[in-house]
Structure 1
Amino acid sequence: MEKISIKELYQNKIDEIWNKATINKDLFTRGYVVHEEVIKNAILFIGINPSFSGKNLTLGSHFVNNEKNDKIYKYFKKFIKISDKVQLPWTHLDLLYFRETKQKYIWELLKEKNGVDFVYKQLLLSKEMILKAEPKIIVVSNAMAKHFMGFDKDKVNDTGVWMDFDFSFDDDLGTYRITDTEFKGVPIFFTSMLTGQRALDNGSFERLFWHINFVLEKLNTPNS
């Protein structure tokens, strides 16, 4: 199982973004949280940003490693279940690194002076991380993450480009594929959240890992 050290490759770049940013001071008191590493050729689960409950949390910037943490947070348990069902390692990345639970704040942040620049620089780094991970399959369980990846872009009017991925629906697989970048053809699932109040119901969750299994079988079939 090959791993990419996000901390080793990107800590200096993330620190530079934080040190140069001139926005909401609360975010900097909380610090950033980034996964220390990603697993190559795995199922990559993509979220939008780490949450912040304000209770019993260590303030300040740091990297996290699920394998070194005895406590597996509830948010990751569905990832583990899917991984076990389809017999493929899982890994996770948030596109943004600041800690905030209310997603509507991200839209407010984009209206702040230098807010767009602050967000965009993080998205560019996250795109690099995704490319280095060379995922077998991507699962995006957040509508805002889907938007930032470029799903809603209009290049003519220069809106919604952000990470600038291109997608095309594959009728044979029943889901989208990425149609550009170094890993052209990688299947990607856009789903509702896997945990929380608006999470997928049990039936939809069962269908998701059935569908992932179906796609993996197709990928392993010659000429697929």
Structure 2
Amino acid sequence: MYESLEDLRSKYETIFGNTNHFNPEVNEILSRGFAFQYDTDENEADVLFLGMNPSFVSGQQKESYEWTREWTRGKDYFTPFFNIEEELKEEYNVNIKWTHYDLFAFRETKQASIKDLLMKNEEGRSFLFQQLEVLKERLLQTQPKVIVASNALIRTFLGMNRHRDKKGNEVGVWLGDWIKFDFDKTIGTYVVNQPSELKGTKIFFTSMLSGQRALDLGTRERLVWHIAEILK
């Protein structure tokens, strides 16, 4: 378990420092460095917004860095998180502390790169899984009451799409042996039942909260109401 920002940064440095065996296209992505959010009070978070990986826009500086919740204020991708916080307070009298982090720390905008360049070969899968091991530590460190997973592919990496292929081999396990969920018909969402440290955490699997594929207004309003009901 990491004990400080420096310790967490060191874990990513180790993972990203052993990537010379990738093809040029992947190496170009990895040459941009890694990035992640870190809040000193993340272990007090009521809500964790879980994303896929930080984006990279052409012309941006290639560097590794971390950011804080306050640094994200006013930035398009993070605006919905602040809006949900404000709506919970104003409309439901529910005060929350939230944080955000991604499954992966490499900087790339196109999600297809994950599927096409990393998930289809052993080296790429190993690289992804090493970062998922860090994710496990971060989940145990934060122990949020609610997780909002705003990307459909997150379900895959949490093992919810595991199945057997035509040869009978189990595929798509990823973190499925470590974390398990049940759908609670009383509250209408998934609840973690394993590992024990996260037992009872509620998780919402949603579409993106910003951008062209963002939740429609009605679905978003229901999400805010649902979070409020759980946290009251």
Superposed pair shares fold, TM > 0.5: yes
- 1:1-50 CA-to-partner distances (Å, cap 9, x unmatched) read xxx97623311111111111232211232111111233423200000001
1:74 equivalent in alignment to 2:76: yes
Give runs of aligned pairs for residues 1-224 of structure 1, distance below 5 A: 7-21=5-19, 22-23=21-22, 24-37=26-39, 38-55=42-59, 57-67=60-70, 69=71, 72-86=74-88, 87-108=95-116, 109-112=118-121, 114-154=123-163, 157-164=169-176, 165-181=179-195, 182-217=197-232
Q: Secondary structure at the match of 1:138?
A: strand
- Contact 1:66–1:72, Cα closer than 8 Å, also in 2: no
Query: In the TM superposition, what is the alpha-carbon distance from 1:112 to its structure 2 partner?
Result: 4.0
How far apart, in 2, do the equivalents of 1:5 and 1:210 lie?
A: 35
Structure 1 residue ranges without an equivalent (≥5): 218-224
TM-score using structure 2 length: 0.85
One-letter amino acid matched to 1:33: A
TM-score using structure 1 length: 0.88
Query: In the TM superposition, what is the alpha-carbon distance from 1:111 to its structure 2 partner?
Result: 2.2
How far apart, in 2, do the equivalents of 1:186 and 1:152 lie?
A: 20
Identity percentage of aligned residues: 39
Task: From the superposition, tell whether residues 93 and 192 of structure 1 become closer, same or farther in structure 2 (CA, over 3 Å).
Answer: same
One-letter amino acid matched to 1:94: D
Task: From the superposition, tell whether residues 150 and 6 of structure 1 become closer, same or farther in structure 2 (CA, over 3 Å).
Answer: farther
How far apart, in 2, do the equivalents of 1:129 and 1:173 lie?
A: 26
Task: From the superposition, tell whether residues 90 and 148 of structure 1 become closer, same or farther in structure 2 (CA, over 3 Å).
Answer: same
Q: Following superposition, which runs of at least 4 residues in structure 1 exceed 6 angstroms of deviation? A: none
Farther-moved stretch of structure 1 (80-89 vs 149-158): 149-158
Farther-moved stretch of structure 1 (144-153 vs 133-142): 144-153
Task: From the superposition, tell whether residues 5 and 42 of structure 1 become closer, same or farther in structure 2 (CA, over 3 Å).
Answer: farther
Farther-moved stretch of structure 1 (84-93 vs 70-79): 70-79
Task: From the superposition, tell whether residues 147 and 51 of structure 1 become closer, same or farther in structure 2 (CA, over 3 Å).
Answer: same
- Contact 2:45–2:99, Cα closer than 8 Å, also in 1: no
Structure 2 residue ranges without an equivalent (≥5): 89-94
Aligned residues: 212
- Contact 2:43–2:142, Cα closer than 8 Å, also in 1: yes
The root-mean-square deviation of aligned C-alpha atoms, in Å, is 1.9
